[in-house]
């Protein structure tokens, strides 16, 4: 699949989540299981509830996880219940679903506001080690090859215990968090920026899939 087609696929997949201004869906979460040990996590694909208040969806993250599952061998779990917040609540059915798939590496995808310093920020989590450090530096190199500015623990380090990344690490699963700036996600991103983001993820999964089989 060429770069433009991959960006188109991301936008097409995102349509499922953008219906009704990112309202919750009937299905509480969308799960795709593969033989890969890599799983893409999208806990904020629709509007959800954090500490009793509505929190806007991380737009583009559900479509990206879905598209990546179609373009690589990765599994994915996308939360669509709108109930609670899987990345804030200590326990959540989303985490139970992820754990049941027994991944060896979780790439936890989120969206952040446009940042003047970094386009994407990678959070290593509370219990990160040498492996997580190697993973984020690999992702950083691949992004910067496409003129994406990639920070490490610059904005969000994912160190709060309840983040999907830190929770996974506590279960013995390798994990890191990817915060993507609004200008690199739908609906704000240009086609070239969407292409660059998708290509970075695909190259990362391709580079590490043998390691985590």
pLDDT tens per residue across span 159-188: 999 999 999 999 999 999 999 999 999 999
Report the phi/psi class of residue 60: left, alpha or beta, with left for phi > 0 and alpha for psi in -120 to 50. left
**Domains: count for the chain:** 1
Is 195 within a domain?
yes
Where does 120-171 have alpha helices with state H? Answer: 130-144, 164-170
Is 82 within a domain?
no
In this structure, what are the phi and psi dihedrals at residue 113, rounded to the nearest 5 degrees? -65, 160
Is 159 within a domain?
yes
- DSSP SS3 for 182: helix
The residue behind tokens 């479509």 is: 63
Q: Inform me whether the pLDDT recorded for 4 exceeds 90.
A: no
Q: What is the mean pLDDT of the segment spanning 104-112?
A: 98
The boundaries of the domain holding residue 10 are 1-52+69-74+88-109+141-164+182-213
pLDDT of residue 16: 97
Is 80 within a domain?
no
Contacts for 64 with CB less than 8 Å, ≥ 6 apart: 10, 13, 14, 40, 42, 109, 180, 185, 197, 198, 201
**Tens-digit pLDDT profile for residues 22-79:** 999 999 999 999 999 999 999 999 999 999 999 999 999 999 999 999 999 999 999 9
- Indicate whether this model's pTM tops 0.85: yes
Is 202 within a domain?
yes
Is 92 within a domain?
yes
């Amino acid at each position: 699949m060429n770069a433009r087609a991959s960006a188109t696929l991301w936008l097409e997949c995102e349509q499922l989540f953008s219906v009704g201004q990112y309202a919750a869906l009937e299905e509480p979460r969308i799960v795709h299981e593969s033989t890969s040990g890599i799983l893409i996590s999208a806990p904020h694909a629709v509007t959800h509830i954090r500490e009793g208040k509505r929190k806007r969806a991380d737009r583009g993250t559900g479509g990206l996880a879905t598209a990546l599952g179609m373009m690589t061998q990765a599994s994915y779990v996308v939360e669509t219940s709108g109930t609670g917040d899987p990345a804030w609540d200590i326990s959540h059915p989303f985490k139970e679903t992820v754990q049941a798939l027994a991944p060896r590496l979780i790439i936890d995808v989120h969206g952040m506001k446009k940042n003047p310093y970094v386009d994407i920020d990678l959070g290593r989590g509370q219990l990160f080690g040498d492996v997580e450090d190697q993973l984020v530096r690999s992702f950083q190199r691949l992004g910067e090859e496409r003129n994406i500015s990639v920070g490490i623990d610059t904005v969000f380090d994912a160190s709060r215990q309840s983040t999907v990344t830190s929770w996974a690490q506590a279960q013995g699963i390798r994990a890191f968090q990817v915060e993507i700036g609004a200008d690199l996600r739908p609906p704000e991103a240009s086609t070239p920026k969407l292409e660059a983001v998708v290509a970075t993820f695909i190259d990362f999964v391709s580079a590490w899939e043998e390691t985590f089989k």
